[in-house]
């Protein structure tokens, strides 16, 4: 498939500096950094796993089984007594 070419105008100086800094630090071209940034923002991977609330709700072990196993796991979680 042919690649499509874009011209992007009115990039802020702060964004330009950040993109150029990242390109310099990673050894990539500015174009590669811009394309990767756009892909990450608009085409997120289905493999993204968000675990930022695991500390709050607990974490079900991978491959834990069926609904009954999940309910047993939930029932085993500690319960804070109501004051």
- So what's the pLDDT on residue 45? 73
Q: What is the dihedral of CA 30, 40, 48, 1, to 10 degrees?
A: -100
**Confidence at residue 22, expressed as pLDDT on a 0 to 100 scale:** 96
The domain total for the chain is 1
Instruction: Please check whether residue 80 lies inside any domain of the structure.
Output: no
Mean pLDDT by 10 residues, the chain (83 residues): 89 97 97 94 74 68 71 86 78
Asked, for residue 63, whether it belongs to a domain, the answer is: no
Cα(19)–Cα(29) distance, rounded to whole angstroms? Answer: 10
pLDDT computed for residue 43 by the predictor: 85
Helix or strand or coil: residue 63?
Answer: coil
Where in the sequence is the domain holding 32, given as residue range(s)? 13-42
The model's pTM: 0.54
CA distance 11 to 35: 15
CB 59 within 8 A of CB 50: no
Which pLDDT score is estimated for 64?
57
Residue 16's pLDDT is what? 97
Q: What is the pLDDT of residue 80?
A: 84
- Whether 50 is covered by a domain: the verdict is no
């Amino acid at each position: 498939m042919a690649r499509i070419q874009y011209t992007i105008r009115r990039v802020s100086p702060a964004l330009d500096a950040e993109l150029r800094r990242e390109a310099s630090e990673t050894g990539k071209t500015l174009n590669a950094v811009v394309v990767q940034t756009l892909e990450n923002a608009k085409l997120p991977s289905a493999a993204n796993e968000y675990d930022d609330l695991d500390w709050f709700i607990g974490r079900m072990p991978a491959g834990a089984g069926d609904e009954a196993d999940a309910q047993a796991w939930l029932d085993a979680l500690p319960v804070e007594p109501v004051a």
